[in-house]
Structures are given as structure tokens and as C-alpha cells.
Amino acid sequence: MWGLFDSGKDRTIGIDIGTSGIKIVELQHNPKTKEVRLTNYVMVGFRESLPQREREKRITKDEVAKLLKAAVKEGKLKAKNSSFSVPAFSSFISFVTMPRVKKEDIRQALTSEAQKFIPVSLEEVVLGWEVIDEPEQKEIANIRDQNKMKVLLLAVPKDIVTKYKEIAELSGLQMQNLEVEAFPLLRSLTLNYQKTFVILDIGSRVCNILVVSGGSLRGARNIGIGGDDFTDILARSINVSYERAEELKKNEGLLNKQVAELLKPVLGNIIDELKRVISVYKNKNPNKEIEELILSGGTASMKGLAEMFYGQLGLNTSVGDPWKKLTVDEKIKPLVAQKGASFSIAIGLALKNE
């Protein structure tokens, strides 16, 4: 894994720059008591009345930095060292089985293996990895399997890394970590490290499906469907403004029969992908049972959504609560509750190395 973290600092900032806006969380860490306290959070949108594709065309790097700088000032955030996330659609994640080598030889061995899994030249990306052998599988594996190792391979295009560094510099921050967003999601939403479960993060642009077991990532897939697609479908089908469609999605959700019917095809696509990911994991890990589905992202709290997934998949389904890992002042708890799982990535970034 890449990234450095100065654990001597008592405050950390997590910054999630999505296609709909920026979410920032500042946490204060007490090394003696291990308490992690929420000191502030900020959310700023990118012209929310515009459809996703229009926002993406019009929002520039300089504008993102300007908004981020203003948000940091508005939130009176004290920390300067910050962690940023790379969206799923801007990164590559693969699970590689390769000959077992010593830790110091992994980089060289991976270089020859990585090109098989990364669809661009290795000269154009920054590579990261993590060995993810499962102990119980090693014990039952035959000699041939014991000579192999499973590695989680990560790659982020260098131009994306440069872009985030420049945004941080322009906004007056120091980027100390840059993580693929799957990992802050796992960090903020994993409460029971013994469980095997699936996270479905519904972002504005894509859905990120993660299989987690023993506190580690075991499967990952993203699909080009997001919460903005839900809004676009409603706006076009009912012939209402984007703002009105967003209100329908947030305030009525699937409890509105017309909304439920219109979103049925796109939700069906997500369900099919979830079933496919779960099936692949079960085939490779027959002794493991997936116990639950955790929803994350801004659309996760849409009324009727958790119940719909439970009915279709038969898995206990709930909306993730990343705030559970934090000490939150009583006076702002109601405000935080309204944000739900939309801050999962930002919180996970600020929790790095906790």
C-alpha cells in the first residue's frame, strides 16, 4: 500500500472529491485514550442543479481547488496534512495469484505480472499492492498452492496522482496520502473484523462493490451506474426538472410506486452485478458465507432501497454508519445522522493508520 501518515499529529483531514461535490472531515486523535473525535465536517456541491455529465465537463481542477480552499476556511479546519481518495473509475484493482516470493522481491515479481492485469502501460501508472493470503486456506492447501501467493494489485494513472497533488497545493494543503476509495470505505464501515460481507457504495457516477472478509478486501468491482443516473431517469421519464427529480429520489424513493417502477431496470442491473460478484467469491471460497450487505454513498439512504435489496438477495441489508467509530458532540448528532453514509470515504481517509 502507498501513502505515509504522520501519527504524531493529533488532527487529520479526509477529503473525498466526487463528481457531485467535496466532502471533508477533520478528526482529532487522542493517542492515550484512542478516542477519535469529530472536530468538523464540510460539504460543498458542484452546481447541484446540473446533470452529472454537465458538471464533469465544466468543473476544472482550479475550480475544485478554489472550492476546497474556501471549504477549509469556512470549516475553520486546523490540520494541513490531508488524505485524498481516488475514485473507483480512475483506478485499477486486480487480485493476482503468483509464485510465492520474499517480501523484498515482490515489486520485481509484480512488475512482470502486472501488465497482464493493467490495461495501460506500467510506465503510466503508480503501482501498489498487498499480500492477502488467508491463513485458513494455507492450512488446507496442497503443496502446489503453498508455493503461490495472492496479491491485491492497485494501479493509479500518474496524471491522476499529479492532478490531486496540484489540487492540494493550490488549496493550501499537504497531500500526505492518496488512496483508492475502496480502502477508506472498508476502514470506516468495518465494525466486526470477523465477518464476511459486501459493501455497495452508490456514488454519483458509479457503484463500487466490495467483498470484505477478516477485515481485508477480497473482491472488488465497479459498474457505470450511480445515483445521478437515478435522478436522470426520473427527470426524463416524468418530464420534471433535475432538482425536482432529486427531491423525489431523496424524499420519497422507492416508497413512491412510480419512482420504484421507473428505477426497476437500473436497480435490476445493480442486483445482477451483486449476484455475480457474490457467486464468484463463493465459488472460490466455499467455506465462507457472506453474512450481510452494507450500503454506502449519498443514495444509500433512499427510502425502500435497503428493503428492496434484502428482498432480492436474501442478505441482511443496512445503511452503513461510519460515524459510529467517532466521538460526536451531542448537539450535532442530529445533523450528522442526516448525512448518513455519504461521508464514509472522507471519514475512512481521516481514520487512516488509526
The candidate with the shortest Cα–Cα distance to 64, out of 27, 15, 13, 14, is 15
Q: How many residues comprise the chain?
A: 354
pLDDT tens for 290-343 read 999 999 998 999 999 999 999 999 999 999 999 999 999 999 898 888 888 999
Q: What is the pLDDT of residue 7?
A: 38
Grid cell listed for 125: 501508472
What are the tens digits of pLDDT across the range 183-226? 999 999 988 778 999 999 999 889 999 999 988 899 999 999 99
Spatial contact of 93 and 153, defined as CB atoms under 8 Å apart: yes
pLDDT at 9: 57
Tell me, what amino acid is at 125?
V
Q: What is the mean pLDDT of residues 228-255?
A: 94
pLDDT by residue (tens digit) across 106-145? 888 888 778 888 888 889 999 888 888 654 444 444 444 6
Cα separation, 349 vs 184, whole angstroms: 5
Tally helices (H) and strands (E) across the chain: 13, 13
Q: Would you say the C-alpha torsion 314, 190, 92, 178 has a positive or negative sign?
A: positive
Torsion of CA 300, 67, 85, 302, to 10 degrees: 0
- Residue 2 pLDDT: 35
DSSP structure string for 304-347: THHHHHHHHH-SEEEE--GGGGSB--GGGHHHHHHHGGGGHHHH
Find the angle CA(90)-CA(128)-CA(28) to the nearest 5 degrees. Answer: 80
Over the Cα atoms of the chain, what is R_g? 20
pLDDT for position 215:
87
| Partners of 15 in beta bridges | 24, 84
| pTM more than 0.85 | yes
For the beta carbon of residue 131, count every other beta carbon within 10 angstroms. 12
> Residue 130: beta bridge partners?
152
**What Å distances lie between residue 56 and 19, 25, 74, 218, 323, CA to CA?**
7, 23, 24, 31, 29
Q: What is the pLDDT of residues 73-111, one digit of tens each?
A: 888 888 888 999 998 888 999 888 888 888 888 888 888
C-alpha cell at 83: 488524505
Which pLDDT score, from 0 to 100, does residue 306 have? 97
CATH 3.30.420.40 at 11-350, yes or no: yes
